[in-house]
Amino acid sequence: MQIAYDLKESTIAGLGLFAKERISKGALLWKYSEQSVRTYANADEVRAELARRPPEAVIHFLEHAYCWDGLVCEILDDGRFWNHSKAPNTGTLPDDPASSFALRDIEPGEELLDDYSQHDMLAWFEAICKEHEVSSSSKVGVEFD
């Protein structure tokens, strides 16, 4: 994370990220890097990773991973607690479509929200989620406000 934030209960779901101070439109909030994300290129890689984890960690992985550019991305830092909204205040920019930026000014105490419907939907990852009776973030983005 590139900004000061609090991790606390969200009225949307579970935990959420909340701005500690005012954030200006266009500010970099979270940087996609090898330190912040682990990627999986296919179902075999995801299944091998899930086999190494206890059941509760499998569910957490499937609910918090997102699909982008044909890959399943596991966020390794608190960025995994970003919640969904059809009216997001964060998102990507054309010159850096993997990182997250403020889409407008964000006030202290405001939750950072992203539109999950902007993530890719990979059929093979959706099938794995269905096997575990979990909705992927992409599916949440399409189905919920």
Averaged pLDDT of the chain: 89
CA–CA distance, 66 with 22 (Å, rounded to integer): 27
> What CATH number does residue 40 fall under?
2.170.270.10
pLDDT tens figures, 64-109: 898 889 999 999 999 989 888 889 999 999 888 889 999 999 999 9
Q: Which stretches within 5-92 are classed as H helix? A: 43-51, 55-64
Number of separate domains in the chain: 1
Range of the domain at 55: 5-143
- Strand 83-84 and strand 113-114: pairing? parallel
State residue 136's pLDDT score: 55
